[in-house]
Structure 1
Amino acid sequence: MSILKENKKKLRKEYRRRRDAFVGQLDVASRNLSFRRLPSPLARLFKPGQTVAFYRSVGSEAPTERLIEYLTETGVNIAFPRVMDNGVLEFRLVTGPELLESGFRDIPEPGDTCPLADPDVIIAPLVAFDRSLRRLGQGGGFYDRSFAQYPDVPRIGLAWSVQEAAEIPSEPHDLPLDMIVTECEIIE
Protein backbone atom coordinates (compact mmCIF):
# COMPACT_ATOMS: atom_id res chain seq x y z
CA MET A 1 0.00 0.00 0.00
CA SER A 2 1.36 3.44 -0.90
CA ILE A 3 2.17 6.00 1.77
CA LEU A 4 -0.66 8.24 0.51
CA LYS A 5 -3.22 5.44 0.75
CA GLU A 6 -1.94 4.51 4.22
CA ASN A 7 -2.26 8.16 5.34
CA LYS A 8 -5.83 8.28 4.04
CA LYS A 9 -6.65 5.06 5.88
CA LYS A 10 -5.30 6.51 9.16
CA LEU A 11 -7.23 9.75 8.63
CA ARG A 12 -10.46 7.81 8.01
CA LYS A 13 -10.04 5.92 11.27
CA GLU A 14 -9.27 9.08 13.25
CA TYR A 15 -12.07 11.20 11.79
CA ARG A 16 -14.66 8.45 12.13
CA ARG A 17 -13.66 8.25 15.80
CA ARG A 18 -13.96 12.04 16.18
CA ARG A 19 -17.33 12.11 14.42
CA ASP A 20 -18.69 9.22 16.51
CA ALA A 21 -17.52 10.88 19.77
CA PHE A 22 -19.01 14.25 18.79
CA VAL A 23 -22.38 12.85 17.77
CA GLY A 24 -22.39 10.53 20.80
CA GLN A 25 -22.28 13.50 23.16
CA LEU A 26 -25.10 15.39 21.41
CA ASP A 27 -28.53 15.17 22.98
CA VAL A 28 -31.36 14.04 20.71
CA ALA A 29 -32.85 17.55 20.41
CA SER A 30 -29.55 19.10 19.30
CA ARG A 31 -28.94 16.38 16.76
CA ASN A 32 -32.48 16.70 15.37
CA LEU A 33 -32.15 20.48 15.05
CA SER A 34 -28.94 20.21 13.02
CA PHE A 35 -29.25 20.23 9.23
CA ARG A 36 -33.03 20.87 9.30
CA ARG A 37 -33.12 23.78 6.90
CA LEU A 38 -30.85 24.99 4.17
CA PRO A 39 -28.70 28.06 4.76
CA SER A 40 -29.54 30.82 2.23
CA PRO A 41 -26.42 30.40 0.02
CA LEU A 42 -27.24 26.73 -0.35
CA ALA A 43 -31.00 27.18 -0.69
CA ARG A 44 -30.46 29.36 -3.79
CA LEU A 45 -29.02 26.33 -5.61
CA PHE A 46 -32.28 24.40 -5.42
CA LYS A 47 -35.32 25.02 -7.59
CA PRO A 48 -38.59 23.10 -7.91
CA GLY A 49 -38.32 20.35 -10.50
CA GLN A 50 -34.56 19.90 -10.09
CA THR A 51 -33.11 16.55 -9.10
CA VAL A 52 -30.83 16.47 -6.08
CA ALA A 53 -28.78 13.36 -5.42
CA PHE A 54 -28.69 12.72 -1.68
CA TYR A 55 -27.29 9.99 0.49
CA ARG A 56 -29.15 8.22 3.24
CA SER A 57 -27.20 9.05 6.39
CA VAL A 58 -25.99 6.10 8.43
CA GLY A 59 -24.66 6.08 11.98
CA SER A 60 -22.94 9.33 12.94
CA GLU A 61 -22.93 10.89 9.45
CA ALA A 62 -24.45 14.36 9.10
CA PRO A 63 -28.20 13.67 9.08
CA THR A 64 -30.03 14.08 5.79
CA GLU A 65 -33.61 13.08 6.62
CA ARG A 66 -34.93 16.56 7.52
CA LEU A 67 -33.25 18.21 4.53
CA ILE A 68 -34.74 15.60 2.24
CA GLU A 69 -38.21 16.21 3.72
CA TYR A 70 -37.79 19.97 3.37
CA LEU A 71 -36.60 19.81 -0.25
CA THR A 72 -39.37 17.38 -1.19
CA GLU A 73 -41.93 19.84 0.22
CA THR A 74 -40.44 22.59 -1.99
CA GLY A 75 -40.85 20.52 -5.15
CA VAL A 76 -37.30 19.24 -5.54
CA ASN A 77 -36.92 15.65 -6.80
CA ILE A 78 -34.74 13.43 -4.63
CA ALA A 79 -32.50 10.71 -6.03
CA PHE A 80 -30.43 8.23 -4.07
CA PRO A 81 -27.31 6.41 -5.24
CA ARG A 82 -27.26 2.75 -6.08
CA VAL A 83 -23.89 0.98 -6.30
CA MET A 84 -23.56 -0.97 -9.52
CA ASP A 85 -21.45 -4.10 -9.98
CA ASN A 86 -18.83 -2.08 -11.90
CA GLY A 87 -18.29 0.26 -8.92
CA VAL A 88 -20.21 3.18 -10.43
CA LEU A 89 -23.11 4.96 -8.75
CA GLU A 90 -26.36 5.37 -10.59
CA PHE A 91 -28.94 7.77 -9.20
CA ARG A 92 -32.61 6.81 -8.99
CA LEU A 93 -35.61 8.94 -8.08
CA VAL A 94 -37.26 8.04 -4.80
CA THR A 95 -40.61 9.38 -3.61
CA GLY A 96 -40.54 7.74 -0.19
CA PRO A 97 -38.31 5.75 2.16
CA GLU A 98 -40.36 2.60 1.51
CA LEU A 99 -38.69 2.44 -1.93
CA LEU A 100 -35.27 1.94 -0.36
CA GLU A 101 -33.90 -1.53 0.24
CA SER A 102 -30.73 -2.88 1.79
CA GLY A 103 -27.91 -2.62 -0.73
CA PHE A 104 -24.12 -2.33 -0.86
CA ARG A 105 -22.72 -2.67 2.69
CA ASP A 106 -26.34 -2.77 3.94
CA ILE A 107 -26.81 0.90 3.03
CA PRO A 108 -30.38 1.72 1.93
CA GLU A 109 -30.56 2.04 -1.88
CA PRO A 110 -33.37 2.58 -4.39
CA GLY A 111 -34.90 -0.52 -5.89
CA ASP A 112 -34.95 -1.47 -9.57
CA THR A 113 -38.41 0.04 -10.03
CA CYS A 114 -37.21 3.56 -9.20
CA PRO A 115 -36.52 5.60 -12.36
CA LEU A 116 -32.96 6.56 -13.31
CA ALA A 117 -32.10 10.26 -12.97
CA ASP A 118 -29.29 12.65 -13.83
CA PRO A 119 -28.67 14.93 -10.83
CA ASP A 120 -28.62 18.74 -10.97
CA VAL A 121 -26.78 18.82 -7.61
CA ILE A 122 -24.93 16.07 -5.72
CA ILE A 123 -24.92 16.06 -1.91
CA ALA A 124 -22.11 13.76 -0.82
CA PRO A 125 -21.20 12.15 2.48
CA LEU A 126 -17.65 12.42 3.76
CA VAL A 127 -15.39 11.26 6.54
CA ALA A 128 -13.20 14.38 6.66
CA PHE A 129 -12.62 17.63 4.76
CA ASP A 130 -10.29 20.60 4.65
CA ARG A 131 -10.63 24.32 3.83
CA SER A 132 -9.49 23.66 0.25
CA LEU A 133 -12.77 21.73 -0.19
CA ARG A 134 -10.99 18.42 -0.45
CA ARG A 135 -13.08 15.49 0.70
CA LEU A 136 -12.02 12.21 2.26
CA GLY A 137 -14.70 9.64 1.51
CA GLN A 138 -15.16 6.06 2.61
CA GLY A 139 -12.37 4.87 0.31
CA GLY A 140 -14.23 3.17 -2.51
CA GLY A 141 -14.03 6.06 -4.97
CA PHE A 142 -17.75 5.86 -5.79
CA TYR A 143 -18.44 9.57 -5.43
CA ASP A 144 -15.21 10.57 -7.19
CA ARG A 145 -16.31 8.52 -10.20
CA SER A 146 -19.75 10.17 -10.06
CA PHE A 147 -18.18 13.63 -9.83
CA ALA A 148 -16.14 12.83 -12.94
CA GLN A 149 -19.26 11.54 -14.71
CA TYR A 150 -21.11 14.80 -13.91
CA PRO A 151 -18.29 17.40 -13.99
CA ASP A 152 -20.57 20.45 -14.24
CA VAL A 153 -22.94 19.43 -11.45
CA PRO A 154 -22.36 21.27 -8.13
CA ARG A 155 -20.81 19.00 -5.48
CA ILE A 156 -21.73 19.70 -1.88
CA GLY A 157 -20.54 17.89 1.23
CA LEU A 158 -22.43 17.66 4.51
CA ALA A 159 -20.37 17.14 7.64
CA TRP A 160 -20.07 17.89 11.32
CA SER A 161 -17.54 20.62 12.11
CA VAL A 162 -15.32 18.11 13.98
CA GLN A 163 -14.63 16.41 10.64
CA GLU A 164 -12.43 19.31 9.51
CA ALA A 165 -8.78 18.35 9.01
CA ALA A 166 -5.80 20.64 8.47
CA GLU A 167 -5.16 19.00 5.09
CA ILE A 168 -6.62 16.08 3.17
CA PRO A 169 -4.09 14.25 1.00
CA SER A 170 -5.34 13.95 -2.56
CA GLU A 171 -4.68 11.99 -5.72
CA PRO A 172 -5.45 13.10 -9.29
CA HIS A 173 -8.84 11.34 -9.26
CA ASP A 174 -9.91 13.09 -6.01
CA LEU A 175 -12.15 15.93 -7.13
CA PRO A 176 -12.81 18.82 -4.74
CA LEU A 177 -16.25 19.88 -3.59
CA ASP A 178 -17.83 23.22 -4.46
CA MET A 179 -19.18 23.74 -0.95
CA ILE A 180 -19.18 22.10 2.47
CA VAL A 181 -22.00 22.66 4.94
CA THR A 182 -21.53 21.92 8.64
CA GLU A 183 -23.81 22.61 11.58
CA CYS A 184 -21.79 25.82 12.13
CA GLU A 185 -20.89 27.26 8.73
CA ILE A 186 -20.70 27.10 4.97
CA ILE A 187 -17.27 26.72 3.41
CA GLU A 188 -16.98 27.79 -0.23
Structure 2
Amino acid sequence: MTIAEEKQAQRAAGRAARKALDAPQRAAANAALCRRVLELDAYRAAHTLLLYAAFGGEADLAAVAAEAARQGKTVAYPVCGEGFTLTAAVPNADGWVVGQYGIRTPVPERSTLLQPERLDLVLVPCTAFDADCRRVGMGKGYYDRYLPLCTRAVKIGIALEVQRVPRAAVDDHDQRLDAFVTERGIYTWK
Protein backbone atom coordinates (compact mmCIF):
# COMPACT_ATOMS: atom_id res chain seq x y z
CA MET A 1 0.00 0.00 0.00
CA THR A 2 1.36 3.46 -0.88
CA ILE A 3 1.60 6.31 1.63
CA ALA A 4 -1.31 8.02 -0.14
CA GLU A 5 -3.42 4.88 0.17
CA GLU A 6 -2.46 4.49 3.84
CA LYS A 7 -3.44 8.11 4.49
CA GLN A 8 -6.82 7.57 2.83
CA ALA A 9 -7.43 4.44 4.91
CA GLN A 10 -6.40 6.21 8.14
CA ARG A 11 -8.59 9.21 7.31
CA ALA A 12 -11.61 6.99 6.72
CA ALA A 13 -10.99 4.94 9.88
CA GLY A 14 -10.43 8.04 12.03
CA ARG A 15 -13.57 9.76 10.79
CA ALA A 16 -15.64 6.61 11.30
CA ALA A 17 -14.24 6.06 14.80
CA ARG A 18 -15.03 9.56 16.01
CA LYS A 19 -18.49 9.55 14.41
CA ALA A 20 -19.23 6.19 16.09
CA LEU A 21 -19.11 7.78 19.54
CA ASP A 22 -22.57 8.35 20.97
CA ALA A 23 -23.57 11.76 22.36
CA PRO A 24 -22.72 11.02 26.04
CA GLN A 25 -19.32 9.53 25.08
CA ARG A 26 -18.56 12.51 22.85
CA ALA A 27 -19.60 15.04 25.52
CA ALA A 28 -17.47 13.34 28.18
CA ALA A 29 -14.47 13.07 25.84
CA ASN A 30 -14.72 16.72 24.79
CA ALA A 31 -15.02 17.89 28.40
CA ALA A 32 -11.96 15.86 29.47
CA LEU A 33 -9.94 16.98 26.45
CA CYS A 34 -10.76 20.66 27.03
CA ARG A 35 -9.76 20.35 30.72
CA ARG A 36 -6.40 18.92 29.64
CA VAL A 37 -5.83 21.78 27.18
CA LEU A 38 -6.69 24.41 29.80
CA GLU A 39 -4.13 22.85 32.18
CA LEU A 40 -1.26 23.01 29.66
CA ASP A 41 1.62 25.38 30.41
CA ALA A 42 1.55 26.33 26.72
CA TYR A 43 -2.11 27.38 27.06
CA ARG A 44 -1.52 29.34 30.26
CA ALA A 45 1.41 31.22 28.72
CA ALA A 46 -0.35 31.95 25.42
CA HIS A 47 -1.89 35.33 24.67
CA THR A 48 -2.93 34.55 21.08
CA LEU A 49 -4.38 31.18 20.07
CA LEU A 50 -5.45 29.61 16.81
CA LEU A 51 -8.27 27.10 17.36
CA TYR A 52 -10.72 25.54 14.92
CA ALA A 53 -14.49 25.18 14.73
CA ALA A 54 -15.26 21.48 15.14
CA PHE A 55 -16.66 19.75 12.07
CA GLY A 56 -17.60 16.17 11.23
CA GLY A 57 -17.19 14.79 14.73
CA GLU A 58 -13.86 16.52 15.44
CA ALA A 59 -12.92 17.14 19.06
CA ASP A 60 -14.83 20.27 20.06
CA LEU A 61 -12.79 23.11 21.58
CA ALA A 62 -15.74 25.44 22.25
CA ALA A 63 -15.08 25.29 26.02
CA VAL A 64 -11.43 26.23 25.45
CA ALA A 65 -12.46 29.14 23.21
CA ALA A 66 -14.96 30.40 25.79
CA GLU A 67 -12.46 30.22 28.66
CA ALA A 68 -9.70 31.84 26.59
CA ALA A 69 -12.03 34.72 25.69
CA ARG A 70 -13.07 35.05 29.35
CA GLN A 71 -9.38 35.31 30.27
CA GLY A 72 -8.82 38.05 27.69
CA LYS A 73 -6.79 35.92 25.30
CA THR A 74 -7.08 36.54 21.56
CA VAL A 75 -8.85 33.60 19.90
CA ALA A 76 -8.40 33.18 16.14
CA TYR A 77 -9.80 30.61 13.73
CA PRO A 78 -8.47 29.40 10.38
CA VAL A 79 -9.75 30.67 7.05
CA CYS A 80 -8.95 28.41 4.09
CA GLY A 81 -7.96 30.39 1.02
CA GLU A 82 -6.97 29.93 -2.59
CA GLY A 83 -3.92 27.84 -3.29
CA PHE A 84 -4.52 25.87 -0.08
CA THR A 85 -3.41 28.78 2.09
CA LEU A 86 -4.51 29.38 5.65
CA THR A 87 -5.10 32.69 7.44
CA ALA A 88 -5.73 33.26 11.15
CA ALA A 89 -8.78 35.46 11.73
CA VAL A 90 -10.40 36.84 14.88
CA PRO A 91 -14.06 37.17 13.88
CA ASN A 92 -16.33 40.01 14.93
CA ALA A 93 -19.70 39.00 16.41
CA ASP A 94 -21.22 38.97 12.90
CA GLY A 95 -18.10 37.54 11.30
CA TRP A 96 -19.08 33.89 10.81
CA VAL A 97 -20.31 31.94 7.79
CA VAL A 98 -20.50 28.29 6.78
CA GLY A 99 -17.65 28.28 4.30
CA GLN A 100 -15.72 26.00 2.02
CA TYR A 101 -16.13 22.29 2.89
CA GLY A 102 -19.18 23.13 5.05
CA ILE A 103 -17.03 24.31 7.95
CA ARG A 104 -18.03 27.28 10.13
CA THR A 105 -15.38 29.89 9.36
CA PRO A 106 -14.67 33.58 9.91
CA VAL A 107 -15.45 36.06 7.14
CA PRO A 108 -12.11 37.83 6.51
CA GLU A 109 -13.78 41.20 5.81
CA ARG A 110 -15.51 41.03 9.22
CA SER A 111 -12.50 39.80 11.16
CA THR A 112 -9.10 40.93 12.36
CA LEU A 113 -6.43 39.01 10.44
CA LEU A 114 -3.30 37.93 12.29
CA GLN A 115 0.17 37.23 11.02
CA PRO A 116 1.24 33.64 11.83
CA GLU A 117 4.26 34.81 13.83
CA ARG A 118 1.87 36.51 16.29
CA LEU A 119 0.42 33.19 17.40
CA ASP A 120 1.57 31.66 20.69
CA LEU A 121 -0.41 28.43 20.49
CA VAL A 122 -1.91 26.57 17.53
CA LEU A 123 -4.38 23.75 18.21
CA VAL A 124 -4.53 21.51 15.16
CA PRO A 125 -7.27 19.02 14.22
CA CYS A 126 -6.65 15.72 12.46
CA THR A 127 -8.30 12.59 11.16
CA ALA A 128 -5.63 10.28 12.66
CA PHE A 129 -2.47 10.62 14.76
CA ASP A 130 0.19 8.55 16.46
CA ALA A 131 1.95 8.71 19.82
CA ASP A 132 4.99 10.34 18.15
CA CYS A 133 2.91 13.44 17.32
CA ARG A 134 2.52 12.80 13.62
CA ARG A 135 -0.88 13.59 12.12
CA VAL A 136 -2.98 12.77 9.12
CA GLY A 137 -5.10 15.77 8.18
CA MET A 138 -7.96 16.16 5.74
CA GLY A 139 -5.65 15.86 2.74
CA LYS A 140 -5.25 19.37 1.36
CA GLY A 141 -2.12 20.35 3.30
CA TYR A 142 -3.43 23.64 4.74
CA TYR A 143 -1.83 23.17 8.15
CA ASP A 144 1.35 21.60 6.72
CA ARG A 145 1.95 24.80 4.73
CA TYR A 146 0.90 27.14 7.55
CA LEU A 147 2.61 25.68 10.62
CA PRO A 148 6.20 26.49 9.55
CA LEU A 149 5.15 30.17 9.41
CA CYS A 150 4.06 30.07 13.07
CA THR A 151 7.61 30.57 14.24
CA ARG A 152 6.99 31.21 17.93
CA ALA A 153 3.89 29.08 18.46
CA VAL A 154 3.63 25.80 20.30
CA LYS A 155 1.82 23.46 17.91
CA ILE A 156 -0.45 20.91 19.56
CA GLY A 157 -2.61 18.33 17.87
CA ILE A 158 -6.13 17.76 19.15
CA ALA A 159 -7.90 14.43 18.72
CA LEU A 160 -10.09 11.85 20.34
CA GLU A 161 -8.24 8.76 21.52
CA VAL A 162 -10.21 6.59 19.04
CA GLN A 163 -8.30 8.35 16.23
CA ARG A 164 -4.87 7.10 17.38
CA VAL A 165 -3.08 4.70 15.03
CA PRO A 166 0.14 2.71 15.61
CA ARG A 167 2.01 4.82 13.03
CA ALA A 168 0.53 7.73 11.09
CA ALA A 169 1.09 7.62 7.34
CA VAL A 170 3.16 10.73 6.63
CA ASP A 171 5.26 12.23 3.84
CA ASP A 172 8.32 14.47 4.12
CA HIS A 173 6.17 17.62 3.91
CA ASP A 174 3.85 16.58 6.77
CA GLN A 175 4.55 18.65 9.88
CA ARG A 176 5.21 16.85 13.17
CA LEU A 177 3.60 18.61 16.12
CA ASP A 178 5.07 19.44 19.52
CA ALA A 179 2.41 17.39 21.33
CA PHE A 180 -1.01 15.80 21.02
CA VAL A 181 -3.84 16.09 23.54
CA THR A 182 -6.72 13.63 23.79
CA GLU A 183 -9.33 13.05 26.45
CA ARG A 184 -7.07 10.35 27.94
CA GLY A 185 -3.66 11.96 27.90
CA ILE A 186 -0.89 14.02 26.40
CA TYR A 187 1.61 12.68 23.88
CA THR A 188 5.01 14.29 23.30
CA TRP A 189 8.00 13.25 21.23
CA LYS A 190 10.72 15.72 22.16
Question: TM-score normalized by structure 1?
Answer: 0.88
Greater fraction helix: 2
| 8 Å Cα contact 2:38/2:44 also seen in 1 | no
Question: TM-score normalized by structure 2?
Answer: 0.87
CA distance, structure 2, for counterparts of residue 17 and residue 105 of structure 1: 18
Identify the residue that residue 109 of structure 1 maps to in structure 2.
105
Is 1:63 the counterpart of 2:45 in the alignment?
A: no
Identify the residue that residue 88 of structure 1 maps to in structure 2.
85
Q: Please state whether the residue corresponding to 2:156 is helix, strand or coil.
A: strand
CA distance, structure 2, for counterparts of residue 101 and residue 81 of structure 1: 12
| 8 Å Cα contact 2:124/2:156 also seen in 1 | yes
Q: How many residues align?
A: 184
Deviation at 1:41, TM superposition (A): 5.4
Q: Please state whether the residue corresponding to 2:84 is helix, strand or coil.
A: coil
Q: Please state whether the residue corresponding to 2:105 is helix, strand or coil.
A: strand
In structure 2, do the counterparts of structure 1 residues 30 and 5 end up closer, same or farther at CA, with 3 Å as the change threshold? same
Q: How does 1:6-17 map to 2 (within 5 A)?
A: 6-17=5-16
| 8 Å Cα contact 2:30/2:183 also seen in 1 | no
Identify the residue that residue 74 of structure 1 maps to in structure 2.
71
CA distance, structure 2, for counterparts of residue 104 and residue 31 of structure 1: 27
Q: Please state whether the residue corresponding to 2:65 is helix, strand or coil.
A: helix
| 8 Å Cα contact 2:15/2:56 also seen in 1 | no
In structure 2, do the counterparts of structure 1 residues 84 and 67 end up closer, same or farther at CA, with 3 Å as the change threshold? same
| 8 Å Cα contact 2:121/2:155 also seen in 1 | yes
| 8 Å Cα contact 1:78/1:95 also seen in 2 | no
| 8 Å Cα contact 2:46/2:121 also seen in 1 | no
**Cα RMSD for the two superposed structures:** 2.2
User: Where does structure 2 lack aligned partners over 5 or more consecutive residues?
Assistant: none
User: Where does structure 1 lack aligned partners over 5 or more consecutive residues?
Assistant: none
Using the aligned pairs only, state the percent identity: 27
CA distance, structure 1, for counterparts of residue 3 and residue 146 of structure 2: 22
The letter for the 2-side match of 1:107 is I
CA distance, structure 2, for counterparts of residue 134 and residue 100 of structure 1: 30
In structure 2, do the counterparts of structure 1 residues 185 and 63 end up closer, same or farther at CA, with 3 Å as the change threshold? same
Identify the residue that residue 156 of structure 2 maps to in structure 1.
156
Question: What whole-Å deviation, never above 9, does each CA across 1:158-182 have from its counterpart, x for those lacking one?
Answer: 1111111000121111011111111
In structure 2, do the counterparts of structure 1 residues 148 and 12 end up closer, same or farther at CA, with 3 Å as the change threshold? same
The letter for the 1-side match of 2:33 is F
110-119 or 29-38: which moved more? 29-38
140-149 or 23-32: which moved more? 23-32
| 8 Å Cα contact 1:37/1:70 also seen in 2 | no
Identify the residue that residue 17 of structure 2 maps to in structure 1.
18
CA distance, structure 2, for counterparts of residue 28 and residue 139 of structure 1: 24
Q: Which structure is higher in RCO with an 8 Å CA cutoff and minimum separation 6?
A: 2
In structure 2, do the counterparts of structure 1 residues 166 and 102 end up closer, same or farther at CA, with 3 Å as the change threshold? same
